Every structure is written in C-alpha cells, then in structure tokens.
C-alpha cells in the first residue's frame, strides 16, 4: 500500500485517489490535500478542473504539470484551516509544501489559499504566497489618536 503524498498518514487509495478520480472533495482541506497530491502525480487536468472558473485563466495545464514534474515534492504541512467544512461554502487553508528543485535546492511554498464551494463542489480560487502574521491587537503609541474616538492624542486622553 502506497502512502498518500499529502502526508495524511493514510494510503493513497483511501485518501486522495478517490477525490482526484471523482473530482469531488468533501471539504476545502480535502481539496487542498488532493491538489498537492495532483502536483506530485503531475495531474494538470485535475488541477485545472478544481480551479475556480473565475481564476482559471491565470493558469495553464502545461505550466502546472511542469512545476509538478520539475520538483521533488517531499512534504505537505497544514498550518491552519478556517471554515471549509462539509456544510460551509467558503474556506481557507494555510499550508507549506516542501520540495527540492532540479538543482537539489530545498524550498518551501507557503500559501494561504481561498476555496469556494459551488453546486456541491469545492474549488481553489486563489492564494496569498508567504502570508504575514496579522497582529490581533494594534499597539497604540502615546502620539496616536485615542481609540476612544475623542479626537485627542492618546497621551492626553485615555493614556
């Protein structure tokens, strides 16, 4: 039994093979994993079919297949998943795909991908390469406007 390239720990047969064959993933994460496996197996047809029609024109099958063929894909790491469950219609999956290029140099493709479900099927829409962490709380310095909305500087108001 061949392990699935997507690093799920399952066999390829019980993980990504059926998703790719049926072109139907139950979740955004399952689609993400199957697309990674499609790169490792050089399946440009699947990659194009699972790219949303709104952004599909940005890609072509030959380039996707060449990128899959030219690199040795070594690991998929899922960083985070937001929504994208069976009953959702949108999802975000952040991942890191580790690979070696034709010169033997190691690389990490880090992406935060957006997915959408239409007519019961999940599609890759687009992604942000090398996403930056977004601070949850902005630090207010003494000369900034006060966040209370008074119009005064923070140091003269709530600071």
Per-residue pLDDT of 48-65, as tens digits, reads: 999 999 999 999 999 999
The C-alpha R_g of the chain, in whole angstroms, comes to 20
Of 130, 52, 141, nearest to 91 by C-alpha is 52
CA distance 95 to 117: 19
Q: Are 91 and 20 in contact (CB under 8 A)?
A: no
- Alpha helices by DSSP H, the chain: 16-22, 28-41, 44-49, 61-70
Find all residues with CB under 8 Å of 134, minimum gap 6, and list them: none
Residue with tokens 């469950």: 85
Is the confidence at residue 27, as pLDDT, over 60?
yes
- Residue 133: other Cβ atoms inside 10 A: 5
Contact 21, 10 (CB under 8 A): no
Check the CA dihedral 127-60-14-25 and report its sign: positive
137 — pLDDT class (breaks 50, 70, 90): low
CA–CA separation, 53 and 124 (whole Å): 9
Give strand pairing partners of 127.
Answer: 113
Does the pLDDT at position 33 exceed 80? yes
pLDDT for 59 equals: 95
Is the pTM here over 0.85, yes or no? no
């Amino acid at each position: 039994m061949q392990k699935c390239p997507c690093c799920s720990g399952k066999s390829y047969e019980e993980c990504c093979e059926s998703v790719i064959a049926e072109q139907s993933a139950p979740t955004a994460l399952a689609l993400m994993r199957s697309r990674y496996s499609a790169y490792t197996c050089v399946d440009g047809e699947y990659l194009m079919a699972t790219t949303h029609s709104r952004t599909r024109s940005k890609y072509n099958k030959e380039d996707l297949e060449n990128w899959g063929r030219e690199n040795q894909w070594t690991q998929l790491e899922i960083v985070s998943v937001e929504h994208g469950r069976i009953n959702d219609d949108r999802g975000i999956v952040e991942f890191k795909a580790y690979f070696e290029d034709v010169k033997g140099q190691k690389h990490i493709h880090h992406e935060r991908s957006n997915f959408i479900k239409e007519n019961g099927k999940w599609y890759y829409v687009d992604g942000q390469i090398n996403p930056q962490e977004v601070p949850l709380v902005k630090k207010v310095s003494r000369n900034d406007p006060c966040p209370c909305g008074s119009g005064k500087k923070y140091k003269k108001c709530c600071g």
